[in-house]
Amino acid sequence: MRISRFFVIFILVAGMGCKAQTTPASVALQAKLDRQIKLTIRSQFNVPPDYTVTLGQRSKSDISGFDTLPVTFSNGGQKKTTMFLISKDNNTLARLEKFDLTKAPGSEINVLGRPIRGNPKAKVTIVNFDDLECPFCARMHEVLFPGTEKHYGDLVRYIYLDFPLVQIHPWAMHAAVDVNCLAVQSPTGYWNLVDTFHQQSDAISGAHGQENLAASIKKVDDLTLAEGKRDNVDMGKLQACISKQDESGIRASMQQGDALGVDGTPTLFVNGERATGALSQSMLWTIVDRAIRDAGEVPPATPATAPSMPGK
C-alpha cells in the first residue's frame, strides 16, 4: 500500500463543543468524527478493503491550531503507522512530512566494495537495485548497456546492488549469490555474468517457471562456472562459494533498500535522484543530464533520433 506524502483533506463536520466531561452525546459525536476520518482516508488513499484503519491518541503538535493524530494501517501481521494533523476545530485533516535537508537523498547508500562499471572517478553515479530474474530489470539493463554507457562515456559510473524479490522470483536469490561469488575474484566477470543472466532470464526460468526451479538453479550455476573459467579465477574457491550459498551479503543489500523505501525493481538512484521501473532511454537520459549539469559538467548532445526503450 502506498501513501501520498503531500495533501490536505478537508472534513466538514459539526463542532464538537465542550469536552470537559464524557456524555452519550459527546461519545456519539466522537464516533461520527472517527468514522468520517476513516472514510476520508480510505477514499483518498484507496486503502484495500482488507486493511484495518485504527486511529490513535491525539497529542499536541508543532503546528499551531493542529493536533497530531497517528493512524495505523494493518493487515494480518503487517502494520504501518502514519502521522496526520487534525485541526483543533476538527474541520481539517492534513498530512505533512518533514525532510532532513542536511542529507542528500540517497547520499548514504553504501557501495563499498561493489564492482564498478564505467569511470570509477565519475562525478555521476547510477546505483541500481536489481533483481536478476526480473523482466523489467532486464529491460532497464538493456537501456543502460551498452546504449547509455556508450553515450555518456567517462561521465558516469554504474553500481548494482542486490534486491531479489524472493516471493515471486524463485532463482533470483541464488543468482545474486553466484554473481557475488564471482565478483570476489573478477569484477569484470561479475558484469559479464549480470549481462548473461539478464539476457537469458527467460531461458533460465524455462517453460515451467517455479515448477522447474532445480533445473533453473543448475543453469545459473553452470553459467557462473563457465564465466569463471573464462576469467581464469580459482575454480575451487568459486565452487565452494556457490555451494555455500551465503545470503548474508544479499540480505544486507535488501535491508539497505528497505531503509531507502525500495519496494520494487528496478529502482535507480542517479546521484541521489530516485527513479523506479524500467525507464525509457529518453527519460533516463533526462535524469542523467540533470545530474551531470548539477555536478558542474556538460552532458553530451543527444542524438536527433535517440532510440526508445527496446522491447522484450
Q: What is the DSSP letter of 43?
A: H
- Convert the pLDDT of each residue in 277-301 to its tens digit: 999 999 999 999 999 999 999 999 9
* Model pLDDT for residues 4-19, shown as the tens digit of each residue: 443 434 333 333 333 4
The alpha carbon of 28 is separated from its chain's Cα centroid by a whole number of angstroms, namely 43
What CATH number is given to the structural domain containing 276? 3.40.30.10
Mean pLDDT of all residues in 39-56: 91
Residues 131 and 264 in one domain: yes
* Whether 171 and 254 share a structural domain: yes
Mean pLDDT, to the nearest integer, of 98-116?
Answer: 86
Contact partners, residue 82, CB within 8 Å, separation at least 6? 3, 70, 71, 72, 73, 95
Confidence grade of residue 310 (pLDDT, cut at 50, 70, 90): low
Rounded to an integer, what distance in angstroms lies between the CA atom of residue 208 and that of residue 229? 29
For residue 206 the three cell numbers come to 524455462
Q: What b-and-e string marks burial along 276-285, b requiring 16 or more CB atoms within 10 Å of the CB?
A: eebbbbeebb
Specify the higher pLDDT residue, 308 or 132. Answer: 132
d(CA 158, CA 161): 10
Is 140 in the same domain as 276? yes
Residues near 13 by Cβ (< 8 Å), separated by ≥ 6? 32, 33, 36, 90, 91
Q: Which helix (H) or strand (E) holds 157?
A: strand 156-162
- How many domains, the chain? 2
Residue 122 scores a pLDDT above 60: yes
| pLDDT band, residue 121 (cuts 50/70/90) | very high
Asked if the structure places residue 2 within a domain, the reply is no
Residues 72 and 125 in one domain: no
What is the model's pLDDT at position 99?
Answer: 79
pLDDT tens column, 187-209:
999 999 999 999 999 999 986 55
The cell numbers describing 9, all together, are: 483533506
Residue 309 lies in a domain: no
Which among 271, 12, 309, 21 is positioned nearest to 138, based on CA atoms? 309
pLDDT of residue 193: 98
The reply to whether 83 and 208 lie within a common domain is no
Task: Give me the mean pLDDT over the 97-116 stretch.
Answer: 85
Strands 156-162 and 124-130, by their bridges, are parallel
Span 133-191, pLDDT tens digits: 999 999 999 999 999 999 999 999 999 999 999 999 999 999 999 999 999 999 999 99
Mean pLDDT calculated for residue range 80-105 = 87
Q: What percent of the chain has pLDDT over 70?
A: 89
- Residue 109 falls inside a structural domain: no
Please state, in angstroms and rounded to a whole number, the distance separating the CA atoms of residues 126 and 158: 5
**Cα angle at 156 between 153 and 162, to 5 degrees?**
125
Reported as half-sphere exposure (CB side, CA atoms, 13 A), residue 201 has a value of 22
Range of the domain at 191: 117-294
Q: In what order do the strands lie in the sheet with 267-270?
A: 117-118, 156-162, 124-130, 267-270, 273-276
In terms of domains, do 74 and 151 share one?
A: no
Domain assignment present for 281: yes
The pLDDT of residue 9: 40
**Using CA atoms, how far apart are residues 176 and 247, in angstroms rounded to an integer?**
9
For 51-67, the pLDDT digits (tens) are: 999 999 999 998 999 99
In terms of domains, do 136 and 249 share one? yes
Distance between CA atoms of residues 83 and 295, nearest Å: 36
Mean pLDDT estimate for the chain? 89
- Residue 60 shares a structural domain with residue 186: no
Q: Does residue 195 sit in the same domain as residue 274?
A: yes
Listed as own residue / partner, the contacts of 72-77 with beta carbons closer than 8 Å and 24 or more positions apart are: 73/1, 73/3, 73/47, 75/48, 75/50, 75/51
Residues 122, 22 within the same domain = no
Contact at 8 Å (CB) between 293 and 276? no
If asked whether residues 121 and 59 sit together in one domain, one would say no
| C-alpha grid cell, residue 64 | 499551531
Q: Could you count the other beta carbons within 10 Å of the beta carbon of residue 93?
A: 22
Helix axes 172-185, 187-199, angle to 10 degrees: 150
pLDDT at site 210: 57
Q: What is the pLDDT at residue 24?
A: 85
**301 occurs within a structural domain:** no
* 297 backbone dihedrals φ, ψ, rounded to 5°: -120, 175
pLDDT of residue 307: 53
Q: Are residues 42 and 88 in the same domain?
A: yes
Question: Which residue has cell 563457465?
Answer: 226
